[in-house]
A and B are shown apart, each in its own frame.
Chain A
Amino acid sequence: MGNITLKNVRKAFGDAVIIPDASLDIRNGEFVVFVGPSGCGKSTLLRLIAGLEDLTSGQIFIDGKDVSDIPPAQRGLSMVFQSYALYPHMSVRNNIGFGLKMAGLPKDEIDAKVAKAAATLNLTDYLERKPRQLSGGQRQRVAIGRAIVRQPKAFLFDEPLSNLDAALRVNMRVEIMQLHQDLGTTMIYVTHDQVEAMTMANRIVVLNKGNIEQVGSPLELYNKPDSLFVAGFIGSPKMNFITGPVAAAHKAATLGIRPEHINVVKGKGEWQGTIHFAEHLGADSFLHVDTVQAGRLTVRAPGDFEGRPGEAIALKPETVRMHRFDEKGLAIR
C-alpha cells in the first residue's frame, strides 16, 4: 500500500519560508507529478516526504501512520536522485543490493532480488561493472534498480531524466511508465518539464512559490486551469494572454486562448494582423502574429501553411475555448 497524505506541511529554512502550507492526498498506485518553475520547492516537498528534510510544522502520513518523525529508511519509500547518487566504489550488483544488505537480508535472497531487478531493467550484463563504466542511461537504470529491489510503498523521483539527452529521455520516460504499470506502486515524480508531466501523470500537482496552485489530471489542468499561472504553465506553446478592450468585451481582466484554438481564416476574421515570424516544425507551424486588436499572439497552423513574415493574416478564435481570468489571476467560470 502507498497512500501518502500531507497535512498543512510547512517548511522554512531559517527565515525563508519555502513551503508555506501544503496539503495533499496521494492515493495508492497513483502516478503523481510535481511540476513548477525552478526554485518553486518541488524538490523540497519531495525530500520532506522522503524524510531527508525535517518538517517545520504539519504532518505526513503514509498509509494512515504519522511518519513525520520517522527516519527515511523506515518510511518504506525509495528515491531516485537527479545525479543518480550511485555508490562509486561498488559494482552495479552491490549498488542495487546495498539497501537489502543494510536491512539484514540473507545473501541468497539479496542475489535473487538483484538478479530479478537487473533482468527487468536490462542490466544483467553490467552487474560486475562500476558506475563510472556505464553510460548515463545505464546509470539511471541502476538508480531505478536500487529503488525497486526494496519493494517500497512508493517511489520518489527527483528530475531523474534531466541529465539524459532528448532521445534517451523519451525512452526512459516510457520505461518508467511501463514500470509503473507493471508494479502498480505509487510514484511521485518531480519535473519542471511540462511535457513529461502531461504524458506521465495520473494527476499533476502544480506548484508556485511553494504553494499548491492546482491538482488535477493532465486534461483537467489543460481544459480548466484555475489560475493564470497554471494556464501559462501547462501547454506548449504557452497560452496567449490578452488584456485591454478585447478582454473587457468578454468581461474579464485577462483573456486566455491557446495557440491551437486560434484558426487562420480567409476573409476578415475576428482579428487581423501580420506574421512576425513563423516556426515550421513539420507537423505544425507556429506563427507569431502582431494583431491590431489583441497584440502579439502565437497561433498554431497546419504544417503545410505557407505564410511568410510580413504577410497579412486574419484570425478567428474558438470562443468556447477561451479562458477568462479576473484581476487576481483566478479563473472566472
Chain B
Amino acid sequence: MATQHTRSLGRIAVAPSVIALFLWMIVPLGMTIYFSFLRYNLLDPGNESFIGLINYQYFLTDPAFLKALGNSLKIVGSVLAISVIGGTLLALLLDQAIYGRNFVRLMVIAPFFVMPTVSALVWKNMMMHPVSGLLAWLTTRLGFEPIDWFAHYPLAAVVIIVAWQWLPFATLILLTALQSMDEEQKEAAEMDGTPPLSYFRHMVLPHLARPITVVVLIETIFLLNVFAEIYVTGSGGRAGNMPYLVYFQGLLNFDVGGASAGGIIAVILANIVAFFLMRMIGKNLEG
C-alpha cells in the first residue's frame, strides 16, 4: 500500500521523536556506563579516577548481589503467577452476569490507580501491622497468633503488596479478551456438550494465550523495577532486589561507581530476561 514516497515521508516525519527518545535513553545510559568505570565516592569528591572493571568485579562478587538477584526473580515470578492465575479467575467471574457487575468491576480495577508508595504505606500500617492491622485482627478473631509480616516474611509481604497492585491490570486485560469471545462458538461448544472445565481448557485458554503473553511481558518489565514497595516498607534488608541494591550502593554506601556498575548489570540481566521472554512468547504473538 505504501509507496516509496509515502514511506520516506513517514520516516522523516517520525525522525524527530525517534531522535528525542533515543537521546532520552542514551544520555543517562552513557553517563552510567562512564561512572561505572570510575572510582567515584560521594564521601571523597573531586578524586575520581579511572579504575577499569574493578567496580563490576566488586559488585558481582558481593554476596548481596546474588541475594538481590534471587529476590528480584522471586518477586517477578510470584507476582506474575498470582496476577495471571488470579486475574484469569477474576476475569471469568466478572464476565458472568453478576449483580452490580459494573460497580464490582470498578472496585477491582481501583488498586491499579493507587500510587505504589501509598499502597505500601497502607498495607504496612493498616493491613499487615502486627498490632493494629486488619489481618492481625482477623487472625486473632480466628484464634491464631497474628503474623508480624515485615519481621518474619518481608519478601512475601512485598509480593502481596505488589501483586495487589498488578492483579487489576491482568484482570482488566483478560476480561476484555474474554468479552471478545465469539458467542456462537460458545453455543457450538454447548451443542457439542462441552463441560465447563473442558470448555475452559480447549476454548478459553487458547483464546487467552495472547493477552496472557502481553500481561507477562508488560508486568515483567515493571516488576523488575519494583522499588517503592521495598523502600517504603523498610524491607530492603531482607527483601531487597536489584534496584534496591543499586540504591543501597549509591545512596547508603555513597559509592556512585559501584552503583553504576550494578545498574549496568541490572540492565544487562533485564535484557537477557527480555530476550528469552520474547523468544518464548514471540510464537504466541504471531499465531
Which residues of A approach B to under 8 Å, CB–CB? Answer: 50, 52, 71-74, 77-79, 81-83, 85-90, 98-99, 102-103, 146, 150
Contact = CB atoms under 8 A, between A and B. Distances in A.
Nearest to B205: A89
Contacts of A98: 192, 194, 202
Given A87-B203, A89-B207, A102-B198, A81 B193 contact: no
Contact of B194 (A83, A88, A102, A150): A102
Contacts of B192: 73, 98-99, 102, 146, 150
6 contacts: A50-B191, A52-B191, A85-B187, A87-B203, A98-B202, A99-B193
Given A73-B193, A102-B194, A79 B188 contact: yes
B45 interface: no
A54 B198 CA distance: 23
A185 to B, nearest CB: 16
A87 B191 contact: no
B207 to A, nearest CB: 7
A13 to B, nearest CB: 14
A90 B202 contact: yes
Interface residues of B, number: 17
Classify the interface of chain A: helix, strand, loop or mixed.
loop
A73 B190 contact: yes
Classify the interface of chain B: helix, strand, loop or mixed.
helix
Given A98-B202, A102-B195, A102-B198, A87 B185 contact: yes
A115 B273 CA distance: 45
* B187, B194, B203, B206: residue with the most chain A Cβ atoms closer than 10 Å: B187
B286 interface: no
A85 B187 CA distance: 8
Given A89-B206, A90-B202, A102-B198, A83 B193 contact: no
Interface in B223-251: none
Contacts of A88: 185, 206-207
B184 interface: yes
Contacts of B203: 87, 89
A107 B182 CA distance: 28
Contacts of A78: 191
Contact of B187 (A81, A90, A102, A146): A81
* B184, B187, B191, B206: residue with the most chain A Cβ atoms closer than 10 Å: B191
A146 B206 CA distance: 20
B202 A87 contact: yes
Nearest to A79: B191
Contact of A85 (B184, B193, B195, B206): B184
Nearest to B207: A89
A146 B207 CA distance: 20
A71 B193 CA distance: 9
A77 to B, nearest CB: 7
Nearest to B187: A52
A151 B192 CA distance: 12
B270 to A, nearest CB: 32
Contact of A81 (B184, B202, B206, B207): B184
B198 A85 contact: no
A54 B184 CA distance: 16
Contacts of B202: 87, 89-90, 98
Given A85-B182, A85-B184, A102-B198, A72 B206 contact: no
Contact of B193 (A52, A103, A146): A103
Contacts of B185: 85-88
A103 to B, nearest CB: 6
A73 B192 CA distance: 6
Nearest to A52: B187
Contacts of A85: 182, 184-185, 187-188
Contacts of A82: 184
A195 to B, nearest CB: 25
Given A85-B184, A87-B185, A77 B206 contact: no
A48 to B, nearest CB: 13
Given A98-B202, A102-B198, A87 B193 contact: no
* A50, A71, A81, A150: residue with the most chain B Cβ atoms closer than 10 Å: A81
Contacts of A72: 187, 190-191, 193
A15 B192 CA distance: 31
Contacts of B188: 79, 81, 85-87, 146
A138 to B, nearest CB: 17
Contacts of B191: 50, 52, 72-73, 77-79, 99
Smallest CB-CB A-B distances: 7 pairs:
A73-B193, A89-B206, A99-B192, A85-B184, A85-B188, A81-B184, A85-B185
Nearest to A78: B191
A105 B206 CA distance: 23
A176 B184 CA distance: 21
Nearest to A83: B184
Contacts of A71: 190, 193
